[in-house]
Amino acid sequence: MKEVVRLILFAPGNEDARHRKPFEELAESIRNELGKDRVRLAYIQSASPNLAEVAEEAANDGVGRIRILPLLFYPGIAAEKEILEQVAVVRAQVPQVALEVLPRVGEHPRMRTLLHALAREAANF
């Protein structure tokens, strides 16, 4: 039987809904493409759902592995520390689900290529 995997888009949280909206729209778009049960959005701080909530839901849904994609563009000691602390808590609370933390999106070479292309396009006036 194939292992059930769920992707968690792990975004910076904010109490202001305007700051969360782009992440919610991204998650919805990806869910529409990959399937409603394969993708969830969680917030690192100051908003719900958090990682523990979506991990508990995943365990209840029979998910065996969670891949966590931090939607962070630059290194930040506080955010990265917060992510590691939350992952440690979830591993203790939901040991039946394997957690894999992926590199933040800002580290991905294609993100740099995209930003370079956008800057080139913006400079073409």
Tens-level pLDDT at each residue, the chain (125 residues): 778 999 999 999 888 989 999 999 999 999 999 999 999 999 998 889 999 999 999 999 999 999 999 999 887 777 888 899 999 999 999 999 999 999 999 989 899 899 999 999 999 86
This prediction's pTM: 0.90
Which residues are 11's β-sheet partners? 43
pLDDT of residue 59: 96
Contacts of 55 (CB under 8 A, 6+ apart): 8, 66, 90, 93, 94, 97, 99
pLDDT at residue 104, as a whole number: 92
Give me 65's structure tokens. Answer: 């592995």
Cα-based torsion angle of the residue sequence 58, 60, 62, 65 in order, rounded to the nearest 10 degrees: 30
The reported pLDDT for the residue numbered 13 is: 87
Q: In what order do the strands lie in the sheet with 5-11?
A: 39-43, 5-11, 65-70, 98-101
Domains delineated in the chain = 5-123 (3.40.50.1400)
Q: What was the pLDDT predicted at 125? A: 66
